[in-house]
Amino acid sequence: MRIVACAALVVGLCGCGGSDSSPPATSAGGSTGSAGSAGSGGSAGAQTGGSGGSAGGAGSCAAACTGEALVCDPADSQCKPDGTTTDIGAPCSTSGADPACGTDANATCNDQTQDGFPGGYCSVEPCTTLKLCPMGSSCAHLGAESMACFKNCSNDADCRGPDYVCQDATGLWVSGASHSVCYLKTLACNKDLDCPTSHPKCVLPDAAGLGSCT
């Protein structure tokens, strides 16, 4: 009985050992399955990266850009003018149409005399959420004026100093890849709603005239 029991025990242990070596193979298969899931996660990550383009990452437009001089801006995944017929942010001298600002029908010069822009500032007007600014520029409602295109920037070095700085247009931003644009150091206003969130208060001057955002 004892011999038989021992033999049975040995067989049982061997059987367990055999089963023991089998799970790792199954587990390895499980790992492969998990790796497959990780692969799917990678796809999801890539898609997230694509949509992340709207926040400033590399993205792609949902549909091919069709139309004259339209290209896909990877910064916000939007089709927009390629900027070859405009020069947003460039100096100019004649208010309104000025060859320095390009050949686009909506290219315009904000000059120093009439508009208060030192050295002049080329823009495109009007712009909206549907009528996008050319590559490298964004639409904002600054200076208590109509919506216009201004040069994108990351810091003051991107702008024509010392008269222009990189202003945060959040609150007055309309469309485009950047909420920061090159603009005058002083943000003119008539009321608080004319001011961006970074300088929310409109302080009116003592004499009649435009105030400034602080």
Which tens digit of pLDDT belongs to each residue from 74-123? Answer: 999 999 999 999 999 999 999 989 999 999 999 999 999 999 999 999 99
Assigned domain for 206 exists:
no
Token output for 4: 């038989």
Cα dihedral sign, 192-193-195-200: positive
Assigned domain for 74 exists:
yes
Assigned domain for 132 exists:
yes
Assigned domain for 90 exists:
yes
Assigned domain for 10 exists:
no
- Number of separate domains in the chain: 1
Assigned domain for 130 exists:
yes
pLDDT score recorded for residue 80: 96
Assigned domain for 62 exists:
no
Q: Is the pTM of this model over 0.75?
A: no
pLDDT score recorded for residue 23: 43
Structural domain of 81: 70-186
Assigned domain for 114 exists:
yes
Confidence of residue 153 (pLDDT cuts 50, 70, 90): very high
pLDDT score recorded for residue 22: 43
**SS3 assignment for the chain:** CHHHHHHHHHHHHHHHHHHHHHHHHHHHHHHHHHHHHHHHHHHHHHHHHHHHHHHCCCCCCCCCCCCCCEEEECCCCEEEECCCCECCCCCCCCCECCHHHECCCCEEEECHHHHCCCCCEEEECCCCCCCCCCCCEEEECCCCCCCEEEEECCCHHHCCCCCEEEEECCCCEEECCCCEEEEECCCEECCHHHCCCCCCCEECCCCCCCEEEC
